[in-house]
Amino acid sequence: MPTIRHVTAFLESFAPLAYQESYDNAGLLVGDPDTAVTGILATLDCTEAVVAEAVAKGCNLIVAHHPIVFKGLKKLNGSNYVERTVISAIKNDVAIYATHTNLDSVTGGVNFMIAEKLGLQNVRILAPKTKTLMKLATFVPVADTQRVLDALHEAGAGNIGNYSRASFRVEGTGAYQAGDGANPVLGSIGDYHREPEHRIEVIFPAHQQRTILAALRKAHPYEEIAYDLYALENADQTVGSGVVGELPQSVSDQNWLAYLKERMNLPLIRHTALLGRPVQRVAVCGGAGGFLLNDAVRASADVFVTADYKYHEFFDADGRIVICDIGHYESEVFTKDLLIRRLAEKFTTFAVIFSETDTNPVRYYV
């Protein structure tokens, strides 16, 4: 029977915790990772009602988008909904896992789900992250080059966008003299040995450094391995904030609003003044995405779909773009569909269930 650890490892294989923002608290918040899973309940938020739903449906793991524990808890006496939810989960042996800004940031994550709901094409990251990549350069006897590269690729190195197994090599001559106590694979103790070698280079996600180096040490023939690690400033086009894409064909701005309302099942849309221009390129950020407005403008988006805009922030559109605030819950509620899709494909020995609890704290009078 798969354990909670198996489930969280799978979730982190496509939404690594290393990609969460510094203020976030994604990960396993409640529960023993070695507990066998009886069922998973997927939800946007975790509340007392969601815990009760999990218990009623035989699920001992809740996978939520928003972390119920966001700030530090100094006591657990049920004085607020966060404490009551955690207490209820512990009493009922229900684990809680959150995949939040890390799931926002990856290709195929939350923003890609919104783009899918809107029927956008050519979807790409709006604001790619920097400082998430590293480069490994190492020196390998020519005869062993491909074997070492294969091991590095298997460990996750060499993926660049839609390309895999990417590397660079150049041939040169390595030289060394083995001293007493050494066990050289090539050459002899005391001899100055020269060996035709390849310098090989691969790029990899920075959070996989330990895995990549372990693969290198296992595959490399030398007793002492020469290698260099470089932290890269390159933007990672597969990781970042928001997305941008295009509708199959342009529509009028009025028709766009009707389309957005229908596709996202919205009670209303708060938006800036329409500009009387056709809409085709759409920028998206689930949740509070105002920080991406200038990125959306630079991407030549006609509209920016996000949430949590304050009154004065709407002025920042300044006639350059139409801001469409669709509500935080409404922008991210389909994250449940994404979680169900991924988890159900991987785990078939227990139920992965869509939470039916409406966790939206906002109500509208229309």
Q: Where in the chain is the domain with CATH 3.30.70.120?
A: 132-232
On whether the CB atoms of residues 349 and 318 are closer than 8 A, the answer is: no
User: Phi-psi region for residue 102, left (φ > 0), alpha (ψ -120 to 50) or beta?
Assistant: alpha
- Mean pLDDT score of the chain, rounded to an integer? 96
Nearest partner of 45 among 63, 31, 27, judged by Cα: 63
Averaged pLDDT, 19-34: 96
Binding residues: 65-66, 104, 328, 332
CATH number (3.40.50.720, 3.30.70.120, 3.90.79.10, 3.40.50.300) of 132-232 reads 3.30.70.120
pLDDT beyond 90 at 1: no
pLDDT for position 161:
84
Tens digits of residue pLDDT in 50-64: 999 999 999 999 999
pLDDT for position 296:
98
How far apart are the C-alpha atoms of 297 and 293, rounded to whole Å? 6
- Would you call 341 helix, strand, or coil by DSSP? helix
Averaged pLDDT, 270-280: 97
Averaged pLDDT, 36-48: 97
pLDDT beyond 90 at 47: yes
CA distance from start to end of the chain:
49
Q: How many helices (H) and strands (E) does the chain have?
A: 11, 15
Q: Which of 99-103, 157-161, 259-263 has the lowest mean pLDDT?
A: 157-161
Averaged pLDDT, 255-281: 97
**pLDDT > 90: percent of the chain:** 97
pLDDT beyond 90 at 162: no
Res. 144 pLDDT band, cuts 50 70 90: very high
pLDDT beyond 90 at 93: yes
For the 4-102+332-354 domain, the top CATH level (class) is alpha beta
Kindly report the CATH number that applies to the domain delimited by 106-128+240-326: 3.40.1390.30
Q: Where in the chain is the domain with CATH 3.40.1390.30?
A: 4-102+332-354, 106-128+240-326
Residue 19: DSSP 8-state: G
Res. 72 pLDDT band, cuts 50 70 90: confident
Averaged pLDDT, 333-354: 95
Binding residues for a divalent metal cation: 65-66, 104, 328, 332
pLDDT for position 153:
98
Structure tokens at 141: 């006897």
Averaged pLDDT, 76-104: 97
**pLDDT > 70: percent of the chain:** 100
pLDDT for position 230:
98
Residue 200 CB burial class (10 angstroms; 0-12, 13-18, ≥19):
buried
